[in-house]
Structure 1
Amino acid sequence: MPAPRLRIRAIELYERPVRFVKPFRFGAVTVEAAPQSFVRALVSVEGRGEAWGATAEMMMPKWFDKRPDQTPADTVEGLRRSLRAAREGYLADNRLDTAFGHHVAFTPTQEPKLAAAYGPAQIDKAVLDGLLRVLGVGFFDGMRANVAGLDARLTPDLSGFDLDGFLGGLTPLPAVELRHTVGLLDSPESVRALLARQSLRWFKIKLGGDVAADLARLTAIAAVLEEAAPGYRATLDGNEQYAGAEQLALLLERLERDPALAAFRRALLCIEQPIAREAALAQPLGAVAERIPFIIDESDGDYDAFPNARAMGYRGVSSKSCKGLYKAILNRARCASWGAPLFLSAEDLTCQAGLSVQQDTALVALLGLGHAERNGHQYGEGFGTPDEANAFLAAHPGFYARDPDGSVRLATDDGRLLTAPLSTPGFARAAEPAWASLTPIQTA
C-alpha cells in the first residue's frame, strides 16, 4: 500500500535553557548549560485529517561545529539557523508528498554538514509524529509498515534492496540497556558511587587524545569496573581528538601490552570517531582497523558518509536522532544489505527527559540495537516544569519513576529502559511539553 501523502501546514520553533547538574567534558569542550530546541509541525494527511507533531533535541555547543574560529555561542546560533532554514524550506514545499518525500525535497546548504542536518532532522521527527497521530498508529507499527515512504533515492547503493521487506522484518526490542557515559571530568570514584546505586554493565568512556593520560585514566576506571561491574562491556569515544592512525596504533599497542588493562581490552567493543571528521573520510585507517572496530559519529554529516567511511576501514556508524532518524534507518538497512562486519551503534547527545529521549529510545529499539549510550539524565535537569514532569510520568509509566524527593526521572535503576511505555499513537509520546514555558525562536 502506498505511503500516505501529506502537506506541512505550519512549523513552530522554540527553545529553553538546560542547566547541567555537573559539567560535561567531551573532546576539547566543557559544557555546563545548553539550550534545548522544541519543534511543532502541523501536518494535513490526504483524506485522513490533520494533527500537530512534536519533538525536542539539545543544541549542544561545539559538537555539531568544532571549527576553532567559532565560539560555543556561535555554534548554537548555527543550529538555530539550521532550524530556520529547514522550516522555511519545508513550508515552501506545498506539495502533497510522503513524509520522507518532504525530507528528500529539502537540500541543506549550510556548513558544516552536521550542523546543516540538525534542522531537517528535527522537523522530520515532528512531521512523522503528526503523521502517526493522524493515522492513530505508534512508531513501531508505523515504521514497520513504512508509512513514512522511505525509499533509496538518497542511498543509491540500496537500489534493488527490499526496503519494505527489511522494515517489515524489524522486531522492536522490549528494552534497551543503558551504556553509561564516563565523561572526561568523571572520576573513577564517581563511577564506583554510581554502581553502588544502579545495576549497569555497559559503559562508554571518553578519550582526550593524549595516549599516556588516556591509558592512565582507563587503568583507574577499569579497576573500578572489574570490581563493581563484573562482566561489563565498554566502548571508547575519541570525539575527534586523535591525530591519525599512527597515534591510534600506539594507543592500542600500549593498551594490549599492559596487564592491568587485559580484561578491559577483552571487554572493549569499538572505538568511536577518534579522528577529526574530515580527515576520517579521507585517510585510510590501514592495519589498525584490523585490531578493533572503529565507527564514525561526527563524520556522519550526510548520506554518503557511511559508504565513504567503510572505504576508509571503518566498520560502523552511530545512530542519533539529532543527525536524522531516516538516515539512521537507512544506515541500518545498509548494514543488512552489506552484511557483517558492518554495524550500527546507538549513541546519545544528552537526550533530555521527555520527547527527546523517548523518541531516540524508540528508534534504537526499532533498529534492534540492544544497548545505547544514555547520558542526558546524568547531566541535564530533565523536565522544564513539575506539571510537565507529572504529565509525562502519567502518560508513560514504567519509563519514568518518582524519586523520594518528588522529582521525576528516567526509570534506570535496573540498567535498562523499557519500550512498551512508548507504544502509543504518534512518535513515542502521549504527553505535551509545557509549551507556554518555552521561548520562541525568531523566524523572521
Structure 2
Amino acid sequence: MSAARVRIGGARIGLDDVFARMPFRFGSVTIEAAVAATLALELSVDGRKITGYASEILAYKWFDKRPEKSAAQNVADLLSILQDAVARAETFPEGDIFTLWQRLDAEMRGAADGQGHNALMAGYGTSMVERAIIDGVGRALGLTFHQMLKGGTAGLAPGEVFPELADMDAGAALGSPPRDRVAVRHTVGMLDPIDGADLPRDKRLNDGLPETLADYLQDGIRYLKVKIAGDTDADLARLRRISSLMGRTDNTIRLTLDGNEQFASVDAFAGFMEAVRRDPDLEALRRAILFVEQPVERGAALSGHLDPRALDAIGLPLLIDESDDAPDAFRRAIDLGYRGVSHKNCKGVLRSIMNAMLARYHGNLRGVSLFQSAEDLSVLPVAGLNADLAVVAALGIPHVERNAHHFFNGMAHLSPRDVSAGLADHPDLYQPDARVGGRLAIRDGMLSIGSLQRPGMGFPPPDMEARVAPRDWTFDRLERRTN
C-alpha cells in the first residue's frame, strides 16, 4: 500500500468548558476546571474530500510550569500555538502524513523560542494537526490507525530521523493484532483521599462512583500511579497508607511513581528511594513498583549521564515524560541511562511510533529492557480519549494511566449528539449515566477497546456546532471553579 497524498484545507476550532467532579493537584496547581479544544481540519486525501478531527484538554501548568505564568496565560498560549500550527499547515503543499508532520514539527519548534514557548508546547500544536490528518486519512480510505501503520499509508520514514531505523519496519514495534483490552492504571493525586478517614460523610459526593483510593481498589483496580511531591516525610507517610491499603486487597497491585519533576537531580531522588528502602513498612510497596516517571525537573533531566551509583540506589528504571519534548529526546535519553519514555498523544503520535521502534532496536542492540508507558490522565471522552487509546492499542501497551473519569464528570461537557454517538459506537468503552449522559466503563479494572478499530482514530465525528469558537471564549468562564 502506498502512502496517501494529503492536501490541507481550512480548519475550525471549538472549545468545551469542563468542570471537575473532584479537585486534582499535581505539582503546584489544583485543577477544578479546564477547557478542551477540538480541531476539525478539512483535507483532500488522494482526491477525496474529508474532515479529520483531534481533541485535547488545554492542560495548564503541565506544558509550561513557569511560576510567573498564570493558568489563564497558559491556556491562551496553548490556544495561540494551536492556531499558529493550523495556519502554517494550511500553506503546505500536498504531501504524505510523515512529510507534513516533519515539516510542521520543524517549523513549530524553530519558532518556539522567539514566541516565548518551550518545545513541549510547540509539540502540542503539531500533534493536534498531526492527529487530525491521521484521522482524516483513515476516514477517507476506510482504514484503522493500526492498518495505516502496517500498510505504509502514513509514509513513515524513521530512517530520516534515526539512521539506525532505516531498515526497520514500523510493524515490528506494534502489537499484532492491536489490543482489545487494557488495564487502567489509576492515578493517586496529591489531594486524593486515600480512604474514608480523608473524606467525611458530609464531604462525599455520593454519586454512586468511587471517591477514595480504597473504593477503587475494592472495584478491581490492579495498577496505580502514585504522584510524589518531593517532601520526603510527607511522601513516606502517604506511601505507608497506600501500602497498607494494598496489603488488604485480594488482588496483586503493581504501581508506578510519578516524580513530577520535583527533584533537582537523580542523586536527590536516589536519596528519597534510600529512605523508602530503609522503611520496613514500605518493603512490599517498593517491590511492587514497576518504574519511576520523570523525577528530575526537565531543565536538568537530560543534562548529562545518570550516575550509575544513583541508579543502583534507586533500583528501578527511569522514564522521561516532560523531557520528551523533541523527536530525538528518547534517543538521547537512552544514551544517558534512561530506560523508558511515555506515550501521550499530546506529544505526538508518529513520535510515539518511532520511540517504540527505538526501544525495540536499542533494547536488542544493548541487551537492556527499554519500554514505553502510556501516561495521560486528562484525556476526555470521546474524541481525545478514544484517539489516545487507539494508539495505545496499536503499540500493545498493557496498562494505561487513566483518571479523567475520576476527576471530571464523564460526558457532561459534551452535547447530546456527541453523547449519543459515543454510546452507540462504543458500547464496550462507555456506559449510559442519566446524570452526565455517559461515562467510561471500567470493569474489573479493565477497559474494553475493541470498538476503536474503525476508520480514523477511533471515534465518531464530533459535534462542532455545539462548541464555542475561540473568539467567543474567555477564561473567566472557568474562574468560578479555578484556583
When the two structures are superposed, what TM-score results if normalisation uses the length of structure 1?
0.95
Pairwise CA distance, 1:289: 2.2
Is 2:438 aligned against 1:408? yes
Q: Give the corresponding residue for 1:61.
A: 60
Unmatched segments (≥5 aa) in structure 2? 196-211, 473-483
Partner of 2:172: 166
The letter for the 1-side match of 2:235 is D
Q: Which residue of 1 aligns with 2:323?
A: 299
* Matched residue, 2:119: 113
Q: Aligned in 2, Cα 1:251/1:406: closer, same or farther, shift over 3 Å?
A: closer
Match of 1:278, SS?
helix
Name the counterpart of 2:357: 333
Between the aligned partners of 2:464 and 2:410, the Cα distance in structure 1 is 15
Q: Tell me, yes or no, if structure 1 residue 359 matches structure 2 residue 357.
A: no
Deviates more, 1:387-396 or 1:112-121: 387-396
Deviation at 1:157, TM superposition (A): 4.1
Contact conserved, 1:237 with 1:274, CA < 8 A, in 2? yes
Aligned partner letter, 1:312? L
Check the 8 A contact 2:270/2:311 in 1, yes or no.
no
Structure 2 contact 173–360 (Cα < 8 Å) conserved: no
Q: CA–CA distance in 2 between the matches of 1:387 and 1:6? A: 29
**SS at structure 1 position matched to 2:90:** helix
Instruction: Name the aligned partner's letter for residue 320 of structure 2.
Output: I
Moved more, 145-154 or 29-38: 145-154
Quote how far apart the aligned CAs of 1:167 are: 5.7
SS in 2 for 1:228: coil
Change in Cα spacing, 1:3 to 1:229, as seen in structure 2 (3 Å) is farther
Relative to structure 1, is the Cα distance of residues 229 and 303 closer, same or farther in structure 2, using a 3 angstrom cutoff?
Answer: farther
Q: Deviations over 1:305-358 (max 9, x none)?
A: 112222322111100001111111110110111113211111014111101111
- Per-residue CA deviations over 1:75-114 (Å, capped at 9, x if unaligned) read 1111112101110110011x22101111111121222111
Partner of 1:207 in structure 2? Answer: 228
Would the alpha carbon gap of residues 349 and 64 (structure 1) be closer, same or farther in structure 2, given more than 3 Å must change? farther
Contact 1:206–1:236 (CA under 8 A) maintained in structure 2: yes
1:246 partner amino acid: D
Partner residue of 1:432?
461
User: Which runs of 5 or more structure 1 residues have no equivalent in the other structure?
Assistant: none
Q: Classify 1:166/1:127 alpha carbon distance in 2 versus 1 (closer, same or farther; 3 Å).
A: same
What's 2:95 paired with? 97
Identity %: 36
After TM superposition, the structure 1 = structure 2 runs for residues 172-211 of structure 1, keeping only pairs within 5 Å, are 172-189=178-195, 190-196=212-218, 198-211=219-232
Residue 247 of structure 1 aligns with which residue? Answer: 268
Shift of 1:170: 4.0
2:303 is paired with a residue whose SS is coil
| Cα pair 1:400 1:411 within 8 Å, conserved | yes
1:427 deviation in Å?
1.3
Measured after TM superposition, the shift of residue 229 of structure 1 is: 5.2
Question: Do the aligned residues in 2 keep the contact of 1:143 with 1:167 (CA within 8 Å)?
Answer: no
Q: Give the TM-score normalised by structure 2.
A: 0.87
- Aligned counterpart, 1:322: 346
Structure 1 residues 410 and 215, CA, compared in 2 at 3 Å: closer, same or farther?
same
1:441/1:246 Cα in 2 relative to 1: closer, same or farther (>3 Å)? same
Q: Measure how far apart 1:244 and its partner are.
A: 1.4
1:15–1:438 Cα contact (<8 Å) kept: yes
Give the Cα separation in 1 of the matches to 2:226 and 2:81: 30
Q: Shift of the alpha carbon at 1:153?
A: 5.5
- Distance 1:251-1:409 versus aligned 2 partners, 3 A rule: same
**What does residue 475 of structure 2 align with?**
none
Question: How many corresponding residue pairs?
Answer: 439
- Give the superposition deviation at 1:194: 2.4
**In 2: Cα distance, 1:404 partner to 1:199 partner:** 24
Amino acid at match of 1:387: R
Q: CA deviation at 1:35?
A: 0.7
Letter in structure 2 aligned against 1:100: F
Query: Offset of 1:382 from its aligned partner?
Result: 3.1
Q: 1:147 to 1:58 in 2, by over 3 A?
A: same
In structure 2, how many angstroms separate the alpha carbons of the residues matched to 1:83 and 1:404? 34
Cα gap change, 1:406/1:214 in structure 2, threshold over 3 Å: closer, same or farther? closer
What is the CA RMSD across the aligned residues, in angstroms? 1.8
How far, CA to CA, are the matches of 2:387 and 2:240 in structure 1? 35
Query: Shift in Å at residue 422 of structure 1?
Result: 0.7
Rate the CA distance shift 1:88–1:34 in 2: closer, same or farther, 3 A.
Answer: same
- Cα drift, residue 46 of structure 1: 2.0
1:371-401 CA distance string (max 9 Å, x none)? 0000111112232133321221011111111
For residue 299 of structure 1, give the secondary structure of its aligned residue in structure 2.
Answer: coil
Question: Following TM superposition, by how much is the alpha carbon of 1:246 offset from its aligned partner in structure 2, in angstroms?
Answer: 2.3
